[in-house]
Amino acid sequence: MVTHAFSVDLEDWFQGIDMPVDAWPSQPDRLDHGLDVLLGLLDDAEVLATFFVLGWVAEHRPDIVRRLASAGHEIGSHGECHEKLYDLDRDRFRASEADVKARLEDLSGVAVRGFRAPFFSLTLDSLWACDVLPELGYQYDCSISPVVTWRYGIEGAPEGLFRLENGLLEFTVSTWSLAGRRLGSGGAYLRLFPQILTRRPFVRGDRSGESAMFYVHPWEFDPDHPNVQMERKARFTHYQNLRVTAKRTARLLSRHRFGTIGTTIKEAERSDTIPRVSLDALKVREA
C-alpha cells in the first residue's frame, strides 16, 4: 500500500491571513490549541507528518520545533514571515531562507530538506525559487499548485512528485475535478467540499501506487480562534466549516496510509518512479 504525504503548514491563525507582520505580536497566541488536536489525531493513527515551520514561529516558539522533532516528525521550512514568493526577489529570498533553514536545523538537530512557500506562491512569477532552493541545500519543494486561485497556482502544471532538471524534487498539491475545474485536497477544500470528492486523489493513489499530498494548518483545528475583518474571498476560505476539520482528518487517516514527505520520496526513489520534468514544461500555458 502506498504512503501518502501528510503535511502541515505550521503557522498561527493570524499568519494564514494577510495581516501585516508588525501586528502579529499583539495577536492572541492560539497555536497550541489547534496543534494539540492535530498531534492527538496523528498520535492515535501512529502517523508521522512533515511540518513546514514558519521562521517567525521557530523564533518565538522554539519549544514547538523541538517537540515535533523529538516525536520523529519531519521539519521543513515555510519561509520567514509568510511573504508570498512573488512579492520577494531572488536575493531577498535567498538571504532570509538561509537564516530560517539554519534556525530550524539548530532547533531540530537534523538537516532540513523540504520547503513550502506561503500560499503556494511558487508561480510563473517566482520560478526563480526553483534555482535558489537547491543552492540552499533543499532537496524538495512543495510550493506548486496545479489548482489556480486568485492567490496562487500554475495552470496546467504537472501533478504529483517529479524531478526538475537541476535535481530539485517537486511534490505538488493533489487535485480532483468538478465540472471541468481542478480543485485541491487539503486546507479549505477539505472543509468546503464533501469528503467523497476531496478523497479522490488518495483513492486514485492507492490504486496507481502514486502518493498524493494532504496539507492542513493548526488553526483549522481551532474553530474558536479570533474572527477578524478581511476581504470576503479570503474570509470564506479561512473561516468556513472549521468545525469539520478534525473529524474529516481523522477519517482520512483511518482510510489511507500516511507518512512524512521524506518517506514518500524514499518509496518513489526505491521503485524508480519519479518522472523528470523541465522548467519549461511548467511554463507551457504562459504563451
Which amino acid is present at 56? W
Of 116 and 256, CB closest to Zn ion:
116
* Exposure b/e, 214-237, CB count within 10 A at least 16 = b: bbbbbbbbbeebeeeeeeeeeeeb
DSSP 41-54: HHHHHT---EEEE-
Site string for Zn ion, 77-116 (x = CB under 5 A): ----------------------------------------
Of 55 and 118, CB closest to Zn ion:
118
Question: Counting beta carbons within 10 angstroms of the beta carbon of residue 270, is it exposed (0 to 12), middle (13 to 18) or buried (19 or more)?
Answer: exposed
CB of 139 to Zn ion, least distance (A): 21
Q: Report residue 58: phi and psi, to 5°.
A: -60, -35
Outline where DSSP puts E strands in the chain: 4-10, 50-53, 74-77, 114-115, 140-141, 161-164, 169-171, 175-178, 181-184, 213-216, 258-259, 276-277
Site string for Zn ion, 109-148 (x = CB under 5 A): ---------x------------------------------
Of 9 and 220, CB closest to Zn ion:
9
Of 54 and 130, CB closest to Zn ion:
54
- 8 Å CB contact between 109 and 69: yes
Listed ranges 3-11, 93-101, 170-178, 238-246: which one lies at the site for Zn ion (CB under 5 A): 3-11
Q: Which of 6, 8, 9, 85 binds Zn ion (CB under 5 A)?
A: 9
Of 18 and 63, CB closest to Zn ion:
18
Residue 187 in contact with Zn ion, rule: CB under 5 A = no
Site residues (CB under 5 A) for Zn ion?
9, 11, 118
